[in-house]
Amino acid sequence: MLTQKPNQMTETAISLTQGNITFFIAIAAIMFNVYHFFRNPAVKADQRLVLLEKALSALTKEFSEFKNNEMRVLQTKFDSQQNQINNISNSMVEVKTIINERIPAKPYSEAFGRRLDDKI
């Protein structure tokens, strides 16, 4: 029979020497660094993604405002040009009316496609 003394340690027990403690601390530090090595880029990527989403949202809003302002400016210019065209058209009608009143038209023969007083 094997008898053990109370102060005697078995072969399977771990002795707490300075080398063993240092080894376990080193293993824990390596595991911690590996964890942070894979975790930190993911956190940084998430933060960058949030910043990019905010920037995209701001740019979308700014572009929308710019587009709306430009559409109003173009509509104003279009309306102005349309008014000018209408004024020119009205002026042309007035000029045509004045010319027709001052210069009477010669009689026109539709059968021959010429004016009646034209020489043959």
pLDDT tens profile 21-43: 899 999 999 999 888 888 777 78
Evaluate whether residue 78 is within a structural domain: yes
Whole-structure pTM value: 0.42
pLDDT at 113: 59
Q: How far apart are CA 64 and CA 27, in angstroms?
A: 56
Evaluate whether residue 2 is within a structural domain: no
Evaluate whether residue 110 is within a structural domain: no
Evaluate whether residue 35 is within a structural domain: yes
Evaluate whether residue 4 is within a structural domain: no
Over residues 109-118, mean pLDDT? 58
Evaluate whether residue 117 is within a structural domain: no
Evaluate whether residue 65 is within a structural domain: yes
Question: How do residues 48-86 score in pLDDT, each as one tens digit?
Answer: 999 999 999 999 999 999 999 999 999 999 999 999 999
Q: How far apart are CA 85 and CA 74, in angstroms?
A: 16
Domain that holds residue 60: 23-103
pLDDT at 91 over 80: yes
What's the number of domains the chain is made of? 1
